[in-house]
Amino acid sequence: MDEILDTVLFVGDRPITVADAGTVALVVIGSLLASWLIKRALGAVAARSSADSVRGAVIHSLDGPMRWILLMAGLWIGYLLLIDQPIATGLRSPVFLATELPFIIWFANRLTNNLTDIWAVKAESTEGTFDDQLVPVIRTLAKILVVIVGLLLLFQNLGYEVGSLLAGLGIGGAAIALASKDTIANLFGSIVIFVDRPFQIGDWVEIGEQEGTVEEVGLRVTRIRTFANSLITVPNSALTTTAINNWSRMRKRRIKLTIGVTYDATPVQIEQAVEAIREVLHADRRVAQDFMLVNFTDFGASSLDIFVYAFTLTTRWDEYMQVRQELLLEFMRRL
């Protein structure tokens, strides 16, 4: 009678007593305690590690997954004790490994994010933008690889033949390719962008009717921030068939304008006006001196037209506008 009262439940034909349940509870509590102690130890190590170090990235990545890995291990050990199976043998069970794999994949994904975040910070400190452009692509590829490898290991531990599974995917490869042709086209588009490098992150580009600054180049799409502060997402496949005007690649910025002089002006005054404009341009070091045009060109409908064609050395829009304004004001003073 006492044995029946002590029995809590049955696992198969084996009765589970209060003592057995207590043992399992102690094992689970022990795993939680071990998780807490390990977290404290890792926190102490992290405090002595640089925030942008690999060791710091590993420690921060372990924070969440480690607790679940130890908790599942504790529950599994408790189960092994209930069914009187050797712990060493049970911990090598494919079922146990399959239960732990999701948390290992979680850790690997967190580690990928943390490591690429470190790389992104270092990339920002370099002069070029190619590494900034490469970071999100490497991050995406690494996370996809982690998930694929993790799923293959999971299927293998669950008893599936991975080779047969891959062969089955090969048979259905044509259907998958047809269904994902746009994705494949975008992937090849991203490869073309990285090889030809028509633009980089931070470049001011004009693509069709869209214009703005490149914010991100991914495996599938490129994101452009417009001057109206909206975000445009352009499929990479479209970029391989569309003309791209990269304004950031300008070596100089053009000034092109027509100055109208009244018909009261004499030929001598027109010549003096042309020479005065040339003197202003030659005197300004912000203007390219290798090529410029200042000529009386037309008898306009209501004015005698002087054509001015020159280039500023700066290509920045704000600096260019300031130079242009100061030149025009000086033209007005001299004329």
DSSP symbols for 136-164: HHHHHHHHHHHHHHHHHHHHHHTT--HHH
Domain ranges of the chain: 2-92, 173-249, 253-334
pTM (whole model) above 0.95: no
Q: Is 327 helix (H, G, I), strand (E, B) or coil?
A: helix
Any residues with CB less than 8 A from the CB of 194 and at least 6 apart, and which?
133, 134, 137, 217
CATH number of 253-334: 3.30.70.100
Q: What is d(CA 6, CA 224) in angstroms, rounded to the nearest whole number?
A: 69
- How confident is the prediction along the chain (335 residues), in pLDDT tens digits per residue? 444 445 555 555 555 666 666 777 777 787 778 777 777 777 777 667 665 677 777 877 887 888 888 888 887 877 777 777 777 777 777 777 878 888 888 888 888 888 888 877 777 777 666 666 777 778 877 888 888 888 887 777 777 776 665 565 555 554 455 545 667 777 777 777 877 788 888 888 998 888 899 988 887 888 999 988 999 998 888 888 888 899 888 889 999 999 999 999 999 999 999 999 999 999 999 999 999 999 999 999 999 999 999 999 998 888 999 999 999 999 999 88
H-helix or E-strand spanning residue 94: helix 94-124
H-helix or E-strand spanning residue 170: helix 162-171
Q: Is 185 helix (H, G, I), strand (E, B) or coil?
A: helix
User: What order do you get walking across the sheet with 231-235 strand by strand?
Assistant: 231-235, 221-226, 210-217, 204-207, 244-246
Tokens of residue 296, six digits? 């009386």
Question: Would you state the pLDDT for residue 4?
Answer: 46
Cα of 330 vs its chain's centroid, Å? 47
Q: Provide the CATH topology of domain 173-249.
A: SH3 type barrels. (2.30.30)
Question: Would you state the pLDDT for residue 2?
Answer: 45
